[in-house]
Structure formats: C-alpha cells, structure tokens
Structure 1
C-alpha cells in the first residue's frame, strides 16, 4: 500500500477517479478545489495498491492537523465502485501511518453524507470506529425525499400563492453581481458575509456550467430573491438563498424555493438538499432556519466530523 502526496501531475488521474467514484461530486474535482488555493495548504493524498489506485482524499494541512479539505463542507476518502471493505480498512491504516510519518498529531475527517453517494459508501464509518476515531462534531442538515415529500405548511402555501398572484416568476440568471449584493445585504443582518465573492461565483459557474445555476425572481427589473444551486446528479443543493424585505413580503423566496424543488422533481432527482441549520460547531440549532426548511417538507440528516488522535 502506497500513499502519495497530490501534485499537479496527478490532476487528470484525480479528476477521472472522482468522476467514476461512488461519490462523483463535481466539487471534489481540482478545478473547484483549487479556485481558492491561496487560502489552504493542500495536503491531498492518493492511495495505491501496487500500481492500482484505491482512493483519493481531498485534504489540507492546518498546523499539526491533517483535515478533510478546509475549503469543502465535507469530503472524506473517495473510493471507486470496485474497492471492497478490506481495502478500505487497509487505506485507513496507511492514512494513519502517513500522518504519523509527516508529524501530524490529529486527523479531522469530514464524512460524506450518504445521500450524495451513487452506491453504498459507508465502509469509512466502520473503519473510523475500528481505529478508535471520536465523533467530535455533528451538524443537522435538511433534505426532501422527492418521492416521499410531506405536505408544505399552510403558511408556505399561502406565500407561494401570493407570489403567483403578484405575477412573480422564477428564471435562470447570469447576474452574479446583483445576486451577490442581495446576498451580502441579507447576511449582514446576521453579522455574516458570503464565503464566495461575486468573481469567484462567476469563475466556478464558468468551470462547471452544468452543475452551478443561479435562479432568481425579479420585480420591476430588481432582483428580490435568488438561489444558487449546486447540482450533483441525483441531488440539488441550495448553496445560497437570499431575499430582501420587498421579496419577503411578496413571498418571492418561498415561490423560488418551491420552483427549485419542483424543477428537481421534474429532473427525476432523488433528493433536494437545504444544507445545515446548526451553528457554533453544531452545538446550536437555529430553530427559525430549520423551521423554514421543514415547512417545505424537509427532514433531517447529519454531517459528521471525526477526529483521529495519531499518538
């Protein structure tokens, strides 16, 4: 078993492996991971059995911690469809040995939620338990099962109907600057700011035009609601949602979300994902935020973080 540090010469091999893996998510590809290369010290790894690639790990170095890549919400080891449980265990043993050799004290492992897998892909959770990893963080996310969606709340239905009466309609947009202004203003109320700049969003959408989409609702040529969607094959994920006071009063965001959900249903997708509603490392549940998602029929799944102490 060999563990090889990622370098530019591995780019094509990496991307081909991700595309054919059990978790073929576009944001594991190098064009996504490297758009913010200046913010993270890349420490990604490839694992080989002789000359056969078994797994890749999107990772970054944070002092004496080897972490699932700091620029990604989640991302553990990525395995191909032919890799079996014994090989997964061997990869973890080699990962720990590599971390020890490189002087790391801990490994922080952000597991991939099961909804994003195209096959069974949780051998890593068994391996983590076997080597004594500790669950150190758990975030609560919300998803809609498109084939078994609970009914929307009466309040959400009323707001969606109100938007329809006002003639508001969703459309695809390329106006990333206006959306970013809308998003920044919305987040400012909560003392936050967007993770991505407008230029970064434009760059990523140009690199992944089939996977990143901006849906908006305009009123009198002004953007009153917007949603940045990440499309992962059988899952649509809302990366960003934003509205203003005018849009809120008209039910614009509610109508836009319902449009996006139905769009995913028409595409015969399995899940619609809203993302997490937890704060402070998963310790605090934002009840207002998760209530909004639950009113659309979403229910909970978890995003787990594991820590492996090398010594």
Structure 2
C-alpha cells in the first residue's frame, strides 16, 4: 500500500481531531483547539500521513528558520498513530524529512510510560541518525502499584498540620494564578507561568474534563494549588506552587498525596510530576528530593535532533 504525507491545513481540523480520538497515543494537547490557541506564535507544519485513503498518523509540528520542530510550543510533539501503524508512520516521516530542505529536525519525546510504542519511536530516530539534544529528568508515580510516600511527607497527618486543610477541585484558576503562582514564580525565579491566566482559562473552558485546578485552603486562606492536565490514564501536574504560609504546612505535598489517592482509586495509571531540571539542565536537588519523597521515580526524557546540512 502506498503512503503519502500531506501538510495540515486549517480545513482539516475536524478530520485531525476525529483521528486523535481513535489513536493509541494521542492526548488533548494535540487537539487543534489546544494547539491553535497560540497559532500566531508558530509557523505550523503539522503532518498528516495516509495509507491509501486512510489517515494512519499525524505529527504536530512547526518550522522556524528552516528547521522542523515537533513541537516547541507543546510539552512534546511525537507522531500520533493508529494501532499497529507506528513503524509505518515513523518510516514515512523519516523519509519525508530526508527528502526535505530542512536544515534540522527535532522531536520532543514523551516519557516512556505514556505509551509502550514510544520506545519504538525513540529507537527508530536513533537508528536514523538522531542525537540527544537535551535530557530532562522526569519524575512519576506508578498509581497501579502501592503508593510509597515517605514518612517525611505524610507527617502532616500525624502532627496535625494537615488537619484543617481543605481541597477544592474545579476551575478557580484566577485565585491560584494571582495570589500564589505568579507571586511565587516572580519571587523565587523572577519568571512567569508559560500560560497567562487568560490562556489557561480559555483552554480550561475548551477542555473542562482535562484541565483541573486543585486549591488547598486553611479556613478561607488559599495556601497552595496544583493545575493538573489529564492525558488519557496519565495525570500531569502542570503547575504547582505555595504561598509562604503554605510552605510551612507543606500544602503542595498534601495536595499531591490526596490527588494520588483519588486518581489511583478512580483507575488512573500514572501521576507525572514533571522534570526536576534547572534552566542549565542540571538537577535541582531540593525539587528532586521533594518529588522522590512522594514516591516518584526518575526517568530520562529526550529531545532528539538531526542536522541535514
């Protein structure tokens, strides 16, 4: 059967999104309603791979200065495929890149636990000359196993620090952004969240079942919050921050523990706590220790790239 690749066009959005729901490794991050919220910042070069007339794969991607990226506007940007079509799609995409005029191609991979076929993808890229351009050290908790939370994290249940804490789940991003997240990032790192309040509220309105805010209060005081992105059977903590008072009670740790118990009970497989790297790529030992005490394990997540000129 012949395979062809077409560049995505806006009129393909419905077809693209319908395919995403049938794929084995797609998440809502690749829905065009999510991808296109910042379409003005990227020159889209997403790909649609067909076997005869059947769409068997898609690749969220963009270009910049004659380089192909999948995808720097998203957490990652792997080929998304139908069952048993992983190898065919990867071979087709590699041939497309080999025959292109791009100076470089780059793939931001996902952690292996997102889907078993991710190993096939990374192996095929390495076999075809892709090299490691970046390594992130990602922490995750296997919710299918017994939770292995350190006594240093659960002590709040025993010493009374967690006694008066109350978690509210929903869509109150405004309180978290304005009272906790933005002040915390500004004070500790002189930075801002990747998503503005307006952007996260827009995305949550489009994906209310996939973007959930957990805020924790003591009486009426907001102490901390975590913004969770739900990706299939994986729960990803996208933002987590505490106020100074929240740090004294380990309010973020409390949210994580309660959320792990909650999502484990519902039947989710993994809680992804995100990377522990600093801006220069080294490991933030304090952050690593915090996440390790929550029972998470480290996995290397790669950005693979290849120069064509």
TM-score, length-scaled by structure 1: 0.92
Which residue of structure 1 lines up, in the alignment, with residue 51 of structure 2?
49
Deviation at 1:9, TM superposition (A): 1.2
8 Å Cα contact 1:92/1:127 also seen in 2: no
Tell me what 1:250 maps to: 249
Q: Distance in 1 between matches of 2:165 and 2:14?
A: 44
Return the offset for 1:10: 0.9
Contact 1:160 1:254 in 2 (8 A): no
Distance 1:274 1:234 in 2: 14
Query: TM-score of the superposition, structure 2-length normalised?
Result: 0.93
Of 149, 156, 176, the match for 1:152: 149
Deviation track 1:70-129 (CA, whole Å, cap 9, x = no partner) reads 2111121111113153453233212332xx2xx320001112222222x53432222212
Q: Any conservation in 1 of the 2:20–2:31 contact (CA below 8 Å)?
A: yes
Q: 1:293-308 alignment to 2 at 5 Å?
A: 293-308=291-306
Say if 1:168 and 1:217, in contact at 8 Å, map to a contact too: yes
Partner of 2:90: 88
Structure 1 match to 2:119: 122
Q: Distance in 2 between the 1:160 and 1:228 partners?
A: 23
- SS of alignment partner, residue 194 of structure 2: coil
Q: Aligned residue for 1:275?
A: 274
Q: Which residue in 1 is equivalent to 2:185?
A: 187
SS of match in other structure, 1:285: coil
CA RMSD of aligned residues (A): 1.7
Long gaps (5+) in structure 2: none
Q: Note if 1:9 corresponds to 2:11.
A: yes
CA distance in 2, matches of 1:241, 1:62: 31
Distance in structure 2 (CA, Å) of the matches to 1:108 and 1:142: 23
2:48·2:58 contact (CA, 8 Å) conserved in 1? yes
Match of 2:135 among 133, 138, 157: 138
Structure 1, unmatched stretches of 5+, are none
| CA-to-aligned-CA distance 1:123-144 (integer Å, 9 cap, x gap) | 2222212211111111000000
Distance in 1 of aligned mates of 2:54 and 2:276: 40
State the match for 1:211 in structure 2.
210
Shift of 1:15: 0.8
Q: Check 1:245–1:87 CA distance in 2 against 1; reply closer, same or farther (3 A cut).
A: closer
Kindly indicate whether the alpha-carbon contact (under 8 Å) linking 2:49 and 2:89 is maintained by their aligned counterparts in 1. Answer: no
Q: Which residue in the other structure is 1:201 paired with?
A: 200
How big is each residue's C-alpha offset from its partner over 1:226-275, in whole Å with a ceiling of 9 and x where there is no partner?
11011112111100101111111123222111111111111111111100
Match of 1:39 in 2: 41
Q: Which residue of 2 aligns with 1:177?
A: 174
Q: What is the distance in 2 between the residues matched to 1:82 and 1:12?
A: 23
Asked if the contact 1:42/1:69 (under 8 Å) is kept, the reply is no
Kept in 1: contact 2:153–2:293 (CA 8 A)? yes
Residue 70, structure 1, aligned to residue 68, structure 2: no
**How many residues matched?**
304
1:157-193 superposed Cα distances (whole Å, 9 cap, x missing partner):
113443332x112111432211102101111121221
- Is 1:104 aligned to residue 102 of structure 2? yes
Paired with 1:72 and 1:178, the residues of 2 have a C-alpha distance of 25
- Equivalent-residue separation in structure 1 for 2:111 and 2:253 (angstroms): 26
Equivalent in the alignment of 1:285: 283
Q: Report the Cα distance in structure 1 between the residues aligned to 2:205 and 2:35, rounded to whole angstroms.
A: 14
